[in-house]
């Protein structure tokens, strides 16, 4: 049950053209930066990528855009990326914009074996177009479908060799949801420990959801908007 | 003399009461956080997974793993906590957040809000706004009354794609405060320096006027 692998190259080697990837992170916070670089180097194409954002022009998922490896993006906010705008306006990339809470719940549902759910989010907007509407207790809801991925790429703070994961601060975000929704989930981590060293009460993602653990990578952890207190 | 922005922010601040859980939208609403006095205890929620947003960090405290929904480095207050995105929107969608204050591009007389997309220009995405307007117990929109061309942003009907239909409870602009009920908009306050005539000339939507404003003329 040792799930540890040693290189990003090995980790992404089974990801093929046309795969659907669910990628954790919010902005540049908690993104699997080593796995993304591995995908850049593997050159795999026609990817469908499900992630809250699409990085910035020269970092995160923006690197895959630059290489034109993404065919379709499912995200809630893509406003930080000029290259995205160009590819979108030229019709080179397909985009599905999903409200952030609906995106989170669609991924959560995917991992939890729930095929669809009703939500009031998006009722009366473009998001509700062509979706089933249903009245519950006098309020209108729309049916939203679960998302699963051929692969999920996540970033955790600590892991053991069984794939139990602990995240740090707001770098958690979509990562636990993504981890459960991938047929194959690859986690890259800052620190690898032996089984038994993580407090079982503090494990965020149980190892059953994780197939591979990539340790030993270098993390840049770029900051998108550095703000400091006025002294 | 206060700037338009100060008028809006200071009026919005009055809506934040002790004990509330509040989500402040990206942009102008985020600036309200700095104005909240120490005497009012509130927990600010950030939809990327943080309850209890603290002030911006000192240079030596900056942590790339700790950001707000605007992707800015922040700190956490004592008693704050972290959670994943699904739990974050359980708080929002499940009606556990007392108040959401959001920016707006257009608000209609029936309480529709448009604030996420301008067709033909870049589509940035709705982020968490569509969830917030449906799920928060109270939704307040803050925005300038007119755009840079002097055109009313308070519309009979929104021309931009909606974030939500009949979701706004209050609208605070640099000229006035409106409340919404049963699909109708009512002018309830004038901002400092504004007159009923000015509000009328700069508001495209139809609206009712609260009796107190008529009596005090």
Tokens of B64: 């790339």
- A104 to B164: CB separation less than 8 angstroms, yes or no: no
Measured CA to CA, the distance from residue A111 to residue A47 in angstroms comes to 20
Q: Using CA atoms, how far apart are residues B57 and B71, in angstroms rounded to an integer?
A: 13
- Distance between CA atoms of A80 and A221, rounded to whole angstroms? 17
Query: With the C-alpha atoms ordered B109, B21, B103, B49, is the resulting torsion angle positive or negative?
Result: negative
**What is the share, in percent, of chain B residues with pLDDT greater than 70?**
98
Domain count, chain B: 1
Give the model's confidence band at B138: pLDDT under 50 very low, under 70 low, under 90 confident, else very high. very high
**Is the pTM value of this prediction over 0.90?**
yes
Ramachandran quadrant class, B126 (left: phi over 0; alpha: psi -120 to 50; beta: rest): alpha
Contact B130 A99 (CB under 8 A): yes
| Portion 128-187 of B in contact with A at CB < 8 A | 128-131, 134-135, 161-166
Owning domain of residue B97: 4-215
The question of whether B47 is a catalytic residue gets the answer yes
- Which residue of chain A comes nearest to B91, CA vs CA? A101
In order of their start, the domains of chain A are: 4-113+147-215 (3.40.1080.10)
pLDDT 10s digits, B163-217: 999 999 999 999 999 999 999 999 999 999 999 999 999 999 999 999 999 886 6
User: Which band of pLDDT confidence, cut at 50, 70 and 90, is reported for residue A84?
Assistant: confident
Per-residue pLDDT band at A87 (split at 50, 70, 90)? confident
pLDDT of res. B122: 61
Burial of B157 from C-beta contacts in 10 A (0-12 / 13-18 / 19+): exposed
Taking an 8 Å cut-off on Cβ atoms, the answer to whether A102 and B73 are in contact is no
Q: Is A33 on the interface with B (CB under 8 A)?
A: no
pLDDT at B216: 66
Q: Give the minimum alpha-carbon distance from A109 to chain B in angstroms, rounded to a whole number.
A: 10
pLDDT attached to residue B217: 61
Flag if B126 and A78 touch (Cβ within 8 Å): no
Does A191 reach chain B within 8 Å, measured CB to CB? no
DSSP class of residue B57? Answer: P
- Condensed to tens digits (0 to 9), the pLDDT of residues A187-229 reads 999 999 999 999 999 999 999 999 999 998 899 999 999 999 9
Q: Is the separation of the CB atoms in A103 and A122 below 8 Å? A: no
Angle A201-B82-B86 (CA atoms, 0-180°, nearest 5)? 90
- The whole-number pLDDT of residue B1 equals 65
* Nearest chain B Cα distance for residue A127, angstroms: 9
In the predicted model, is pLDDT for residue A73 greater than 90? yes
CATH of residue B74's domain is: 3.40.1080.10
């Amino acid at each position: 049950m040792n799930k540890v692998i040693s290189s990003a190259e090995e980790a992404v080697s089974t990801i093929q053209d046309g795969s659907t990837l669910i990628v954790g992170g919010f902005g540049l916070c908690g993104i699997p930066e080593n796995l993304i670089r591995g995908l850049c180097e593997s050159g795999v194409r026609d990817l469908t990528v499900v992630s809250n954002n699409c990085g910035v022009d020269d970092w995160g998922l923006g690197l895959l855009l630059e290489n034109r490896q993404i065919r379709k993006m499912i995200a809630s906010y893509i406003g930080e990326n000029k290259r995205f705008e160009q590819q979108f306006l030229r019709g080179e990339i397909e985009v599905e914009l999903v409200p952030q809470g609906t995106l989170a719940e669609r991924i959560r549902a995917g991992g939890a074996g729930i095929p669809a759910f009703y939500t009031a989010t998006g009722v009366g907007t473009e998001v509700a177009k062509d979706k089933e509407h249903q009245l519950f207790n006098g309020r209108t809801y729309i049916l939203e479908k679960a998302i699963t991925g051929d692969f999920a790429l996540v970033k955790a703070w600590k892991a053991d060799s069984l794939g139990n994961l602990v995240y740090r601060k707001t770098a958690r975000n979509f990562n636990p949801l993504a981890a459960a929704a991938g047929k194959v989930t690859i986690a890259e981590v800052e620190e690898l420990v032996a089984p038994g060293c993580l407090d079982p009460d503090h494990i965020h993602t149980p190892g059953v959801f994780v197939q591979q653990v990539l340790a030993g990578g270098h993390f840049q952890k770029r900051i998108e908007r550095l703000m400091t207190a006025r002294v | 003399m206060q700037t338009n922005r100060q008028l809006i922010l200071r009026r919005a601040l009055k809506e934040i009461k002790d004990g509330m859980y509040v989500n402040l939208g990206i942009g102008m609403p985020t600036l309200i956080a700095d104005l909240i006095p120490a005497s009012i205890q509130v927990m600010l929620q950030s939809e990327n997974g943080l309850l209890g947003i603290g002030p911006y960090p000192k240079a030596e405290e900056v942590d790339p793993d700790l950001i707000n929904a605007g992707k800015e480095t922040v700190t956490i207050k004592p008693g704050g906590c972290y959670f994943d995105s699904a739990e974050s929107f359980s708080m929002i969608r499940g009606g556990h957040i007392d108040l959401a204050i959001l920016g707006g591009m257009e608000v209609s007389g029936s309480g529709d809000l448009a604030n996420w997309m301008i067709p033909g220009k870049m589509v940035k995405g709705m982020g968490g706004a569509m969830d917030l307007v449906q799920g928060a117990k109270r939704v307040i929109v803050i925005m300038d009354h007119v755009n840079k061309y002097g055109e009313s942003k308070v519309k009979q009907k929104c021309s931009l794609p909606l974030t939500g239909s009949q979701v706004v409870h209050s609208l605070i602009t640099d000229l006035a405060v409106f409340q919404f009920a049963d699909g109708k908009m009512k002018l309830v306050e004038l901002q400092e320096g504004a007159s009923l005539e000015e509000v009328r000339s700069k508001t495209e939507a139809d609206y009712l006027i609260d009796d107190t404003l008529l009596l005090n003329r």
